Chains A and B, each alone.
Chain A
Amino acid sequence: MTTWQLTVNGQRKEVAVDPGTPLLWVLREELKLTGTKYGCGIGACGACTVHLDGVATRSCLVPVGLIGDRPVVTIEGIGQDPCGRAVQDAWVDRDVVQCGYCQSGQIMSAVALLKAVPKPTDEIIEESMGGNLCRCATYVRIRETIKSASEHLT
């Protein structure tokens, strides 16, 4: 057990866990931020996507001991960001979700994409969102909604 200082959604947090514990489980079980989801544990589904220093990252693959001072933003905090808020609103407006379990990760990936590429093409959307699995297959609406959010942002 080691104590770690983390910055999550702009707040300083302290947790005492084994250094190998994935960030995902630190968020969910220590900080009770359960919006970040466990789906596969091997970085293959994207349900656990958070922003680590602004980069969309699979939190199931990042041991807490390697985070250092990089800030973490989760679905609970992304609404404080104008782009994050716009994407969340667009998601609700276009009725994207079904079961909703993967959508935290979808939204985190979409926000990272739009921050990097404000006007993404279909190919770029497929590439950036390509690792986020949705078993309800809301993909058609995800694609449309990224495009409509993109219009609202510019």
Chain B
Amino acid sequence: MRAFLNAVPRVSRRGFLRVSTAAAGGLLASLWFDSPLSAQEGPPPVPPKAYPPDAFVHVKPDGQIVITVNRVELGQGIQTALPMVLADEMDADWSQVAAEIAPAGEVYKDPVLGIQIVGGSSSIPNSFQQYRELGAKMRAMLVAAAADRWNVGADQCRAENSVVYGPGGRSARYAELATYAAGRPVPEKVRLKDPSQFRIIGKRVRRLDSKAKCDGSQKFGLDVDLPAMKIALVARPPVFGGRVRAFDDAQARGIAGVIDVFEIPLVRGTGVAVVADRFWPAKQARDRLKIDWDLSGIERADSSELRGRYEQLARTTGLVATSRGDRAAMDRIPAERRVVAEFDFPYLAHTPMEPLNVTVRFDGDGAEAWTTSQMPTFEQGAIAEILGLKPDQVTFRVGFGGGAFGRRGSLDEHVTREAAVIAKRMRGSPIKLIWTREDDVRGGYYRPLFAHRVEIGIGKDGMPAAWKHVVVGQSFLIGSKFEPMAVKDDVDPLLVEGTANTRYSIPNFHVWEHHPKVNVPVLWWRSVGNSHNSFVMETLIDELAERARIDPISYRLKLLGSDANKQRAALTLLREKSGWRSNLPLGHAAGISCTEYYGTAVACAAEVSIKNGRPKIHRVTMAIDCGLAINPLTIENQCQGGIGFGLTQLMAKGAITLRDGRVEQRNFDGYTPPYIVDAPVAADVHIVPSAEAPTGAGEAPVPAIAPAVVNAVSRLTGKRYRSLPLRAL
């Protein structure tokens, strides 16, 4: 995903901090931006609204420090990590820190990308510096306020745990100083701490949101409850893009609690919305709709047909994604030293635990939305467009989401648009649109189906000398609003990430892609292109290592290029921590993988046996290099969770399939992600010590696990596996 994000034009804006006294007392720090036009002349524009739309820090009179986080919390722990960064530079008392999620707003846009977003594991890399500076400025102002009060120099004072200490044993709490500090100028430049002075960054800090998530009090998007709120469900066409020809709602309207039934436009085709006062009547009514669908002229995608077609396409070269060395090098390698491998991967659904939902209320001259969006900027705009408003007339709230994995960051805002269309009709009433689990599983926006064909020529030293690789699958960037920025020469970088940008040093290396258009909506799925590219790369490298009779860690270290410092560090740490590999019980084997996702390297060892025809994962050891580790506890959790999420690919029922245009799975009975029995019994995580700039940890662990497990299975069975999901062993 970051490949695309990197292509988004940088927004050069000079953000400056403003402080004021909060309505309820204490110090309120807000970030405002010069607009490009007004930057040169006159006073800065007055922001339209006060707290909270532009607040970042609120030092309350009772000592509590509320830090606003410009990223939705979806489980990744950003509501703890960024407050840690700010609080550390601020010398705040961590036990008094609380966090809240920012609504959509200009000041909450990613300082590097210029849009408000959670994606591509970019939160930490892009906001680390921003939150450090905010914290340091707050600290400087509070210290200056104390120094003024005591009539001493600021350099004679120091801050610790929300208290400023001065000469002669004087001290003052931040809460006491807040109002005075609010009247002071904000320093333009501040000195950041030397990493050796960090007191919170680098510590294993427990999540701030744990307790509320363990006692049932945490509200998620689906828990939004407003006066006069109605529940909406939508009947969508059985084939993507189908349209309602006619419908009979007589039975549906007979259900007590049903308020209205009407046809609505969808991003693809049309559907029938049911609005009721509760979920259950809405569902009963939708089940009783009789809809005559017009499916004429619509392409009916079929998974087995697609696999066959892609397999043929993969045998032809396509658009050049990477070209290094001599294309004819392969021809000079004898047939016995060549490997040809063809892979296929199915569509995958994200299925976050919290079903998709959006609540919208339209009042005629304004609107309010309650969401768990990964991309508030675009979703706010989509609601405004449908309701005929300007984006700032839509108060766009962002709340805790029950997982997302890319699914709440759609490129066409289809869920939010449906909610806005229904809210427009039901003017004055808040409408909560719920996608049932069936809607989610059958609703598209999948990780695309892919085919790969790889031809490898092996040198006499057992290392790959020539590598030709064709990737076939749908692009979701092409045809989207991001195409002009992210797609060059018709090549979608997300299709080939994990392959085209590999750090393995292969002298003659060529990657092509085909991206056929198919009538199935597709979307990024945690780790994006790496989910399939890393599987291909890491299972083939393992095969080459085995063929060369070299230990799989040693083989990788030998093959990695000089720019692969982080992968090298992760592999070296993995070797040290996976001594168990040389002492395995009978019937167990270890598999290795090493991957990189946008600057974060992961090396993985999985101990596997075979039980009832399926892999049983006894232990996973993972080493990760993500630069400076802000919260090692969160990184450990993200690695353990990424392992479990990545195993979705290997599940017996881990595939979405289409037949005659219709999705064959409906719910978790047909599309079955990993349960506790499928996860490793133990997973130990080791972090490479580093002082380098921090990189993300949410996605990097995902692509590593499936190849590690399958490499272990291959050692047990002597077979290679090139088609997912994994069938009976």
Contact = CB atoms under 8 A, between A and B. Distances in A.
Nearest to B642: A137
Given A136-B75, A140-B683, 9 more contacts: A29-B279, A42-B667, A44-B669, A88-B215, A133-B675, A136-B353, A139-B675, A139-B679, A140-B679
B539 to A, nearest CB: 22
A39 B675 contact: no
B675 A130 contact: yes
Contacts of A140: 640, 644, 679-683
B668 A45 contact: yes
Interface in A128-150: 129-143
Interface of A: 1, 17-18, 20-22, 25, 28-29, 32-42, 44-45, 47, 74-76, 79, 88, 91-93, 95-104, 107, 122, 125-126, 129-143
B633 interface: yes
Nearest to B666: A42
A132 B676 contact: yes
Contacts of A33: 216
A21 B280 contact: yes
23 contacts: A28-B223, A37-B222, A38-B355, A41-B438, A44-B668, A45-B353, A45-B437, A93-B206, A95-B207, A95-B633, A97-B75, A98-B76, A98-B641, A99-B400, A101-B403, A102-B353, A133-B353, A133-B675, A135-B351, A136-B353, A137-B645, A138-B640, A140-B680
Interface string B203-245: 0001101111111111110110100000000000000000000
Contact of A44 (B75, B405, B667, B674): B667
B215 A101 contact: no
A34 B637 contact: no
Given A92-B206, A131-B675, A136 B214 contact: no
B355 A32 contact: no
A88 B146 CA distance: 42
A137 B353 contact: no
Contacts of B225: 32, 34
A140 to B, nearest CB: 5
A126 B353 contact: no
B667 A137 contact: no
Given A22-B280, A135-B405, A137-B640, A36 B676 contact: no
Nearest to A97: B213
Contacts of B351: 135
Nearest to A85: B215
Nearest to B351: A135
Nearest to A84: B215
Nearest to B401: A99
A29 B677 CA distance: 33
Contacts, number: 187
Contacts of B217: 35, 76
A103 B640 contact: no
Nearest to A122: B681
A21 B282 CA distance: 12
Contacts of B223: 28, 34
Interface string B30-67: 00000000000000000000000000000000000000
Interface string B394-424: 0000001111010000000000000000000
A28 B223 CA distance: 8
Nearest to B683: A140
Interface string B436-458: 11100000000000000000000
Contacts of A97: 75, 207, 209-210, 213-214
Given A35-B215, A130-B676, A136 B280 contact: no
B675 A132 contact: yes
Contact of A76 (B210, B216, B220): B216
Given A99-B401, A136-B645, A40 B675 contact: no
B251 to A, nearest CB: 15
Interface string B323-364: 000000000000000000000000000111111000000000
Interface string B612-647: 000000000000000000000100011011111101
A34 B643 CA distance: 30
A146 to B, nearest CB: 10
B210 A1 contact: no
Nearest to B277: A29
Contact of B77 (A41, A98, A129, A141): A98
B278 interface: yes
Contact of B280 (A18, A35, A40): A18
Contacts of A45: 353, 437, 668
A34 B679 contact: no
B676 A126 contact: yes
Interface in B654-680: 667-669, 673-677, 679-680
A139 B637 CA distance: 10
Given A39-B437, A133-B668, A139-B676, A103 B213 contact: yes
Contact of B75 (A98, A104, A139): A98
Contacts of B279: 25, 28-29, 38
B74 interface: yes
Contacts of B210: 91-92, 95-97, 100
Contacts of A132: 675-676
Contacts of A29: 278-280
B178 to A, nearest CB: 30
B667 A40 contact: yes
Contacts of A95: 206-207, 210, 633, 637
A139 B214 contact: no
Contacts of B298: none
Given A98-B75, A126-B676, A139-B679, A104 B644 contact: no
A43 B351 CA distance: 15
B256 interface: yes
Contacts of A92: 206, 210-211, 214
A25 B280 CA distance: 7
- Most A-side CB within 10 Å, residue of B213, B220, B278, B640: B213
Contacts of B681: 122, 140, 143
A76 B642 CA distance: 29
B353 A99 contact: yes
Contacts of B679: 137, 139-140
Contacts of B75: 97-100, 136
Contacts of A44: 667-669
Given A101-B354, A122-B681, A137-B641, A42 B668 contact: yes
A146 B30 CA distance: 43
Contacts of B673: 133, 135
A152 B393 CA distance: 53
Nearest to B645: A137
Nearest to B438: A41
Nearest to B205: A95
Given A44-B668, A74-B216, A126-B677, A39 B355 contact: yes
B400 to A, nearest CB: 7
B354 A138 contact: no
A126 B678 CA distance: 9
Contact of A100 (B209, B641, B642): B209
A47 B353 contact: yes
A37 B669 contact: no
A136 B73 CA distance: 13
Given A95-B207, A133-B675, A138-B640, A38 B216 contact: no
